[in-house]
Structure 1
Amino acid sequence: MILGKSNGPSYAGTPNMSASKMEVYLEQAKLRLGFVKSRVFRRIATIVVSFSLILVAIILTARLTNVGEVLPKVLGSFLPKIPTCASQNQSGEQDVWKKAEAKYKGLMSDKFTIAMQTYQRPKELNDTLKAILSEDVPSLHEVVIVWNDLETKPPANFVSKFGVPVRYRVSKHNSLNEKLWPDPDYKTQAILLSDDDVYYHPKDLEFVFQSWRKFGQHRLVGALARCATVDAYGNWAYTFCSSKVEEDIYDMILTNLCFSHISFLDYYSSNTTTMNAIRDYVDEGFNCEDIALNYVQSLLTGDGPLLVQGREKYVNFVPSKGISTKKGHMAARSRCLNDFAKMFQCMPLVDETAHIQKGVLVM
């Protein structure tokens, strides 16, 4: 019987084909194994593993420490921000300031006036006045109460037992700018800007004034320092400062207890385009007049403020109500820093590290 030729597939070569594929697979496996053992692969693997370990370490450190607070400061120094006025050779309208200095040159330089702002806090005001006027402060010429409560008649003017006149000045309107107004009736170049809930002890007050005369007539000199730092996004942030190494700087003094030359108040109250905008901003937000005055002083002089402490710590009642107790206060202050820098077209604040404290350090 003769079989016909089959048209179906032939399987005669199947074993050879399987062996060929196996050889290919083995060859590819050898190549892969060779790559794994190669120096290039080991280097890549080392980099990947190292990066992974570093990433894990950063995450764990951020969760277990305060690196989350430090890292933005480090990163922020590399990010763009509003340039400093010094780097832009900006120093404000010097002619306006020089005219102010000349205008007040005839005022007493060996005495000072307290300008104390108050609003519906009679207890704090009376307690502060009682403390300040309880002892003789030789250089204190006058106390002016900036009365911002327009609905209530102020008490009558009086003279303390040490002969210091106390004058109540009713504001034109309830504005934080009123305390910074250069009252034409002032008789002294030095003005101690103050709130009704904070004061130096009388014996320290004279020391702080004399320190202002010797070292700080071109600065704002006071008890409470504050800081402007750069965050991770290049924006200025308002902080309470830090005593940590490499962070022990400050660039503002709060005007709730602060000596200022009257010429700075005159510039602040001037009719320049920038200062008009600044005062309107302060009135609109009812905040940040102290930041603005620090900008003015540093802009005009190129110097930072000066922190001066007495032998005893200043007294601060920290009332239950007030601007600083409102929710969002710190964020609002940070906005002021950035908005004012835009208005001035540069950042005027200057870092300072030194401070003065009454007493002798015995070694």
Structure 2
Amino acid sequence: MSTLIAINCGGEYSPTKEKASSRGGLSPLLHRRWRTLLVGAKYKLFLLLFLFTWLCFLSSKIPSLMGWNPHYPSSVSHPSRGGYTVVINTLKRNTLLKQSVAHYASCNGTDAIHVVWSETDPPSQMLKDYLRKVVLKKSKAGHKPNFRFDLNKEDNLNNRFKPIQDLRTDAIFSVDDDVIVPCRTLDFAFTVWQTAPLTMVGFVPRMHWPYEEKNGLFHHRYGGWWPVWWKGTYNMVLSKAAFFHKKYLDLYTNKMPSPIHDYVSRERNCEDIAMSLLVANATGAPPIWVKGKIYEIGSSGISSLKSQSDKRNKCTNDLISIFGTMPLVSTNVKVVDATRHEWFW
């Protein structure tokens, strides 16, 4: 760093010299006053520009602050450009299921809707007729998504990843019946998935990190949203709202180690962690988190249990042990729609 030093080489002070110099320019006092005024004006201009920018930001946020708008225009113009199949996992929550089916039927990118049904009794004819009518009513005039129940004889979380026959799309959007993703956000995430169709692209980032206990044992810890936000990294996106390739349904059901199926069935938990391990092992790459507003319309899900954190920690360690390796890859990349004014990580 250089330092500039001012040196006076003009000799001794002379009133005559001062008068002569003042005729050709401003006096030193007046010059300082003008400089002070200019600096103050620049500061005020900067402040006004800052306030104007902040007001513009707030005005752009007002619509999103008002809550979910289910009629927000979809960005995928037609499913023939490559749509997706929405696979909704549900269990004894028909009210939520009706809302979910109605919403996803209205998204332009939806080519088909499959409901994973794992109750002892099949869906009633009344429910089936109602949902078919809803799909026809809510879908766009130029395209009517296929709608079907995928029936299972037992309640098992592995059911949500069973292969589906006669799919017309490679993209699967796996979602819980109590999660609503606005159509525009969903279609944007689909375009992201198309750039990396072998990885998982989702809205709910999670992470795990290794730690060593006092006794020297090495473990893995599962982290929810706040650890993700605090550390600025993640290595999973949950299948409660995520895109993945249809081939992973076959890999999960037919290639995944059977002890993992048994574990998920017994614990009634952590099938999403198992899928994350499977995809990471197949790709050697991290998932992709798309930041977007999603809405949970139910409050009785398993994640609301107080003991859920301990169970997820145990699941993470047990599944990694059964899997025989830890393939999850961490990343700090997030994808944001450039037309949305996002600033919070």
Is residue 226 of structure 2 the alignment partner of residue 226 of structure 1? no
The match for 2:120 is 150
Is residue 248 of structure 2 the alignment partner of residue 269 of structure 1? no
Q: Distance in 1 between matches of 2:179 and 2:160?
A: 15
- Alpha-carbon spacing, 1:280–1:297, altered in 2? closer, same or farther (3 Å): same
The match for 2:88 is 116
Aligned-residue offset at 1:318: 4.2
The match for 1:139 is 109
Q: Distance in 1 between matches of 2:228 and 2:101?
A: 32
- Alpha-carbon spacing, 1:139–1:153, altered in 2? closer, same or farther (3 Å): closer
Q: Distance in 2 between matches of 1:184 and 1:213?
A: 22
Aligned length: 246
Q: Distance in 1 between matches of 2:248 and 2:150?
A: 20
Greater mean deviation of Cα atoms: 287-296 or 349-358: 349-358
Unaligned runs of 5+ in 1: 1-107
Q: Distance in 1 between matches of 2:209 and 2:202?
A: 20
Aligned-residue offset at 1:109: 8.2
The match for 2:241 is 257
The match for 2:49 is none
The match for 1:49 is none
The match for 1:11 is none
User: One-letter code of the match for 1:260?
Assistant: F
Greater mean deviation of Cα atoms: 185-194 or 227-236: 227-236
Report if aligned partners of 2:171, 2:243 keep a CA contact under 8 Å in 1: yes
The match for 1:287 is 269
Report if aligned partners of 1:150, 1:170 keep a CA contact under 8 Å in 2: no
- Alpha-carbon spacing, 1:109–1:238, altered in 2? closer, same or farther (3 Å): farther
The CA RMSD over aligned residues, in Å, is 2.0
- Alpha-carbon spacing, 1:112–1:347, altered in 2? closer, same or farther (3 Å): same
Greater mean deviation of Cα atoms: 331-340 or 298-307: 331-340
Report if aligned partners of 1:115, 1:143 keep a CA contact under 8 Å in 2: yes
The match for 1:352 is 331
Unaligned runs of 5+ in 2: 1-79
Q: Distance in 1 between matches of 2:261 and 2:157?
A: 9
Identity percentage of aligned residues? 27
Aligned-residue offset at 1:360: 3.8
SS at structure 1 position matched to 2:150: strand
User: One-letter code of the match for 1:131?
Assistant: H
Greater mean deviation of Cα atoms: 190-199 or 326-335: 326-335
SS at structure 1 position matched to 2:82: strand
Aligned-residue offset at 1:187: 2.1
The match for 1:238 is 222
Report if aligned partners of 1:109, 1:190 keep a CA contact under 8 Å in 2: no
Aligned-residue offset at 1:201: 0.4
Provide, for residues 76-101 of structure 1, a one-character-per-residue CA deviation record: whole Å limited to 9, x for no partner.
xxxxxxxxxxxxxxxxxxxxxxxxxx
User: One-letter code of the match for 1:232?
Assistant: E
Structure number with larger C-alpha Rg: 1
Provide, for residues 136-192 of structure 1, a one-character-per-residue CA deviation record: whole Å limited to 9, x for no partner.
x33211000111222352422624232122212211311111111111232211100
Report if aligned partners of 1:218, 1:261 keep a CA contact under 8 Å in 2: yes
SS at structure 1 position matched to 2:163: coil
Aligned-residue offset at 1:228: 0.4
Select the residue among 199, 203, 208 that pairs with 2:184: 203
Q: Distance in 2 between matches of 1:289 and 1:262?
A: 16
Report if aligned partners of 2:257, 2:323 keep a CA contact under 8 Å in 1: no
Q: Distance in 2 between matches of 1:346 and 1:109?
A: 38
Q: Distance in 1 between matches of 2:167 and 2:81?
A: 12
Report if aligned partners of 2:163, 2:249 keep a CA contact under 8 Å in 1: yes
Spell out the pairing of 1:1-363 with structure 2 (5 A cutoff).
110-133=82-105, 135=106, 137-154=107-124, 155-156=127-128, 158=132, 159-161=135-137, 162=139, 163-214=144-195, 216-233=196-213, 234-240=218-224, 241-244=227-230, 247-270=231-254, 272=255, 275-310=257-292, 313-319=293-299, 321-360=300-339
User: One-letter code of the match for 1:150?
Assistant: T
- Alpha-carbon spacing, 1:160–1:309, altered in 2? closer, same or farther (3 Å): farther
Q: Distance in 2 between matches of 1:323 and 1:361?
A: 32
Provide, for residues 281-320 of structure 1, a one-character-per-residue CA deviation record: whole Å limited to 9, x for no partner.
100100000000000000111001110134xx1111242x
Q: Distance in 1 between matches of 2:298 and 2:208?
A: 22
SS at structure 2 position matched to 1:229: strand
